[in-house]
Amino acid sequence: MEDDSDNPEDENVTITFGDEEKINCSKCLLMKKSDYFNAMFSSGMIESHYNMVEIKDVEADVMRELISYIASDVLHLTKESVYCITAGACRFQISSAIELCCEFLRDNLCHNTCSSTLECSTLYHLKSVLKLSKRHMQHYFTKVCQTEDFLSIQVATLRSLLQEKALNVESEIDVYYAFEQWIDADVENRQQYINELSKYIHIEDIIDPSIELNMLPEFKYLHITKNGILQRLENNKDQIRRKYRQVPEDLFCVGLQRFDESSQSFCFDPVIYKIDMTKECGILKDNVITTMEDVLPNVEGHGGYSVCVNGQDIIVSGGEPKLGKNTWNLGVYCYNTFTKKWRKLTELQSPRRHHASCAINNCLYVIGGYGRFRVKLNSMEKYDCDEGKLKYYNKVT
């Protein structure tokens, strides 16, 4: 790419910000990278007649980093700085920097960052990040609510969350406790919102009528007693009603054996289909969401790999792509249905096919199956997704 800063006709602009800090930058680069500066210097504004621009209400570190990026195409981001730099990139309309910030936010999305990322993406209309952080919040609501990040969200964000029907909670009591913890984090300033927010707590879904009264928790921010809740449930026990929170579920087909009419034989499609349950033939070519060719190359037939689900992740492990030819897949691969990306988790210590696998408490268990020379295995391997550690158990009894 041609460096406009080397153009002899290019002018340098002095940008003043912070405590009278000054940095020189190429006007051509500023106009090329930033729609904000392009409009400033090409629309006849007073700044276009001078080689000095004063920027107010921007943190010095943010302005310094953005000017450095404009000059070098290198943007330094950390989990602490990304939100301020995103705000600055949006203010100055630096589209390439905005995309780098979005990529960083997506790649670093977790329980501890989800709340801040959701608010940032909502404020600056970062659609791809907003969709991803919202799905993460919905699916992992009870875990996200246990983080310090959640306790600092704005009332508008909490209001929107409490109205969500797709929150993945076992009981409405989880929603109430999230609301209570948020109030408790700053009672003096947040108690004014109790009446407004409490109306989004669906009392009818909190209590299982079979739970004894002395086992029920107290609800200090609801204007109803435990006896009152039980009485309301008793009065409505004969009514057929649908709970407010309804977690959406998707059904997937991982790999498909199909009949090829042209060759009059069965062949294997190494793809993942999303099944549309509203149609008579739910598995359609248009519903392919990803291929497994990169993680399971040259699969002939089923291959004996195993599939399980862990939250939003589809995990594919083991298998022998070409049965009987000693071509083993030791990899354990994960497809994130939120980010639409594959990643490798680990490698199995023992080659195995036609084994069982399951995920419990964010740990993957790979059990039994057949190994080399068709030896039946009674071993197990456990992979801790949180710690990234694999443990081998020689004999399962």
Q: Note the pLDDT of residue 214.
A: 62
Q: Note the pLDDT of residue 95.
A: 97
Are 294 and 342 spatial neighbours (Cβ–Cβ below 8 Å)?
Answer: yes
Which residues have C-beta within 8 Å of that of residue 21, sequence separation ≥ 6? 60, 64
* Ordered strands of the 389-393 beta sheet: 356-360, 363-367, 380-384, 389-393
Q: Which has more confidence, 18 or 357?
A: 357
Q: Which has more confidence, 87 or 327?
A: 87
Pairing of strands 341-347, 331-336: antiparallel
Average pLDDT on 280-306 reads: 74
Closest CA relative to residue 58, chosen from 30, 19, 27: 19
* Dihedral angle over CA of 137, 142, 175, 241, nearest 10: 90
The domains of the chain, with CATH numbers, are 4-108 (3.30.710.10), 125-248 (1.25.40.420), 251-393 (2.120.10.80)
Mean pLDDT of the chain: 87
Q: Which of 168-177, 179-188, 297-306 has the lowest mean pLDDT?
A: 297-306
Average pLDDT on 327-338 reads: 92
Q: Which tens digits make up the pLDDT trace of 203-248?
A: 777 766 556 556 666 778 887 777 777 777 677 666 656 788 887 7
Average pLDDT on 4-24 reads: 74
List Cα–Cα distances, 167 to 112, 157, 326, in angstroms: 18, 14, 46
Q: Note the pLDDT of residue 278.
A: 62
Q: Note the pLDDT of residue 149.
A: 96
List Cα–Cα distances, 14 to 30, 67, 95, 106, 326, in angstroms: 11, 11, 22, 34, 67
Average pLDDT on 328-349 reads: 93
Q: Note the pLDDT of residue 291.
A: 87
pLDDT at residue 74 tops 90: yes
Average pLDDT on 369-376 reads: 93
Give the pLDDT band (50/70/90) at residue 46.
Answer: confident
Tokens coding 375: 């030896």
Q: Note the pLDDT of residue 237.
A: 66
pLDDT at residue 2 tops 60: no
Q: Note the pLDDT of residue 279.
A: 62
Average pLDDT on 359-364 reads: 96
Give the pLDDT band (50/70/90) at residue 9.
Answer: very low
pLDDT at residue 121 tops 60: yes
Give the pLDDT band (50/70/90) at residue 102.
Answer: very high
Q: Which tens digits make up the pLDDT trace of 140-154?
A: 999 999 999 999 999
Phi and psi (nearest 5°) for 306? Answer: -120, 150
Q: Which of 8-17, 18-27, 172-181, 348-357 has the lowest mean pLDDT?
A: 8-17
First-to-final CA distance of the chain = 64
* pTM of the predicted model as reported, rounded to 2 decimal places: 0.80
| % of residues, the chain, pLDDT over 70 | 88
Tokens coding 20: 């009278």
Q: Note the pLDDT of residue 117.
A: 98
pLDDT at residue 24 tops 60: yes
Give the pLDDT band (50/70/90) at residue 139.
Answer: very high
DSSP 55: -
Q: Which tens digits make up the pLDDT trace of 375-391?
A: 999 999 999 999 999 99
